[in-house]
Structure 1
Amino acid sequence: MGIFDSAKDKASEFAQDNPDKLDQGVEKAGDFADDKTGGQRADQIDKGQDFANEKLDGAFGGE
C-alpha cells in the first residue's frame, strides 16, 4: 500500500466518523469564497455547497 492509499483510507475513515465536520468544512469553504468574491457569486457558491453536501452525505452517510 502506497502513501496515497494510506492517506485516502485515513481520510475516508475520518469522513465516515465525522460527517458533521465535512458539512462544516463545506460551509467554511463557501463562506471564504463568498467573502473573496464580495458576495457577487453567492447564488453559485450556495448551489456548489448544496451539491458538495449532497455528494458527501451520499458517500459517507452524513446528515
Structure 2
Amino acid sequence: MKKTISVPEAGREYFDLGRNASYEAAKRGDIPTIRIGKILRVPVIALEEMLSPKRSEVA
C-alpha cells in the first residue's frame, strides 16, 4: 500500500473528481495534503481517517 498518492489520484479514487476539482478541494482543505519539496501529496492514512466514521466511546 502506498503511503502517499497524488492529489488527482486521491480526488479520482475517493471522490470521483477530475484533476482541477481535486486541486480545488485540496486548496479548500477538503483533501489533506503535505508538501514534499515542490510536490503536493496526499497521505493515505490521513485521508482514510478523515473519511472514516467517528467511533463513539461507550462509558
Q: Which has the larger radius of gyration?
A: 1
Q: Same fold judged by TM-score > 0.5?
A: no
Higher RCO structure, 1 or 2 (CA under 8 Å, sep 6+) = 1
Flag the structure with higher strand content: 2
Which one has a larger percent helix, Structure 1 or Structure 2? 1
TM-score scaled by length of structure 2: 0.28
